[in-house]
Amino acid sequence: MNNPWSKLKQNDLLRRFFVLLIIGIILYEARAMIDTILLTFIFTYIVIHIIKKVQSIIPRFPTKLIVGIIYLLLFGLLYFVVTIYIPLLAKQITKIVRSMISFYQSHQMTGILKDIEKYINREEIVSSARHGMNFIIHTITNVGTLTVALLMSVFLSFFYTFELKKMHQFSNLFVTEGSFKWFFEDLKFLGQKFADTFGVVLEAQFFIAICNTILTMIGLIILKMPQIVALGLMIFVLSLIPVAGVIISLIPLSLVAYSVGGIKDVVYILILILIIHAIEAYFLNPKFMASKTQLPIFYTFLILLVAEKFWGTWGLIVGVPLFTFFIELIGINPRKDKKKKRKTKIF
């Protein structure tokens, strides 16, 4: 029967774009959960990649034991952050707030406010303060939402990887049985191709994070900042977010710098972060991404700019993998000479 539906199923490229369109519609409808979806994918990919590496060295090493060790270390890290790092940061914030209140109540600040009122309307000051408070409240809300998404992603990735063999067996039933097995075959194909391209970019970002951490820690040592190890850990985690991670790390670093040396040290931190941000944005990010994806640096940098404009921080993370994924889907493969022999399977 040569109807349009049969023609669609016989045309691999058209059929896969149809499946991709369905996936896009589902993701758009589930956009409120996109943080959880992407974080779960990232955690799952990393854990499965570690499992493959360990079992390539020790073939009979139990998967569940590897997963248990990984998540014990992860929860140990979270315990360190909650019990040591967050109290340290809270202490620094308390010091800064007290210093700001003291400065505001001083006679010097009273004189400055009077001079400001000569040039700026009081209503404009109040309006600016209100906008500032709204921004702070919005940021705190986003941090809370992201924290919930992060915890949910950790648990979901744990359940997936802990029963990895069973998950693969059950998922393969959709490919081998049922009336819509053609749909799930294409879904598996697209998922594996995206996992492959995403893994390459994730590896590049890992090396960028190491470079950022080393450079920032050297700068912090020169500036004689306290808690170098804790700050270094925070910088490494945030540096896994392309470009934006360096900027986000500026907030806690500035708080610590202010408590140590006042405004002068905050200015030094600002200069340090601007230099490192420039190195990452204009050299490390395009260079590492280009070397791993075999894309020209111009294309890589342009993709990062456009993806950030459309999807914000997540665009910086998934922009290059999505572009590489789409061009490979239409038969253009810049990495064909440097394909990895072993692939990390998620589906």
For residues 247 and 271, the answer to whether their CB atoms sit within 8 Å is no
Q: Which residue has the tokens 């210093």?
A: 99
CB-count exposure of residue 9 (10 Å: 0-12, 13-18, 19+): middle
**Number of folded domains in the chain?**
2
Instruction: Please indicate, yes or no, whether residues 202 and 146 belong to a single structural domain of this protein.
Output: no
Q: For residue range 96-137, list pLDDT tens digits in order.
A: 566 656 655 555 555 555 555 555 555 555 555 555 455 455
Does residue 101 lie in a domain region?
yes
Asked if residue 21 is part of any domain, the answer here is: no
Q: What are the pLDDT digits (tens) for 34-52?
A: 888 888 888 888 888 889 8
Task: Report CA 140 to chain centroid distance, whole Å.
Answer: 18
Which pLDDT tens digit goes with each residue over 296-340? 767 777 887 888 788 776 777 778 788 888 887 777 776 665 554
In angstroms, the CA 219 to CA 159 distance is: 40
Is 173 inside a domain boundary?
yes
22 falls within a domain: no
59 residue type, one letter: P
The predicted model gives 140-169 an average pLDDT of: 80
33 with 171, same domain: the answer is yes
Q: Are residues 199 and 65 in the same domain?
A: no
Res 309: pLDDT:
80
Asked whether residue 144 falls in the same domain as residue 263, the answer is no
CA-derived radius of gyration, the chain: 24
Query: The domain containing residue 74 runs over which residues?
Result: 29-177
In a domain, 253, yes or no: yes
Same domain, 36 and 173: yes
Does residue 192 share a domain with residue 167?
no
Q: Is there a domain that residue 343 lies in?
A: no
- With H, G, I as helix, E, B as strand and everything else as coil, classify residue 120: coil
**What pLDDT score was predicted for residue 15?**
83
154 and 172 assigned to the same domain: yes
Helix axes 164-176, 181-222, angle to 10 degrees: 140
Q: What is the pLDDT of residues 266-278, one digit of tens each?
A: 888 888 888 887 7
Lookup: tokens for 128: 């600016």
If DSSP codes are grouped into helix, strand and coil, which group holds residue 38?
helix
Tell me whether residue 8 is in a domain.
no
From residue 213, give the alpha-carbon distance in Å to each of 63, 273, 292: 31, 11, 20
CA dihedral 315, 316, 321, 325 (to 10 degrees): 40
The whole-number pLDDT of residue 69 equals 92
Cβ pair 292, 201 in contact under 8 A: yes
- Contact criterion met (CB below 8 Å) for 206 and 317: no
Q: Does residue 347 form part of some domain?
A: no
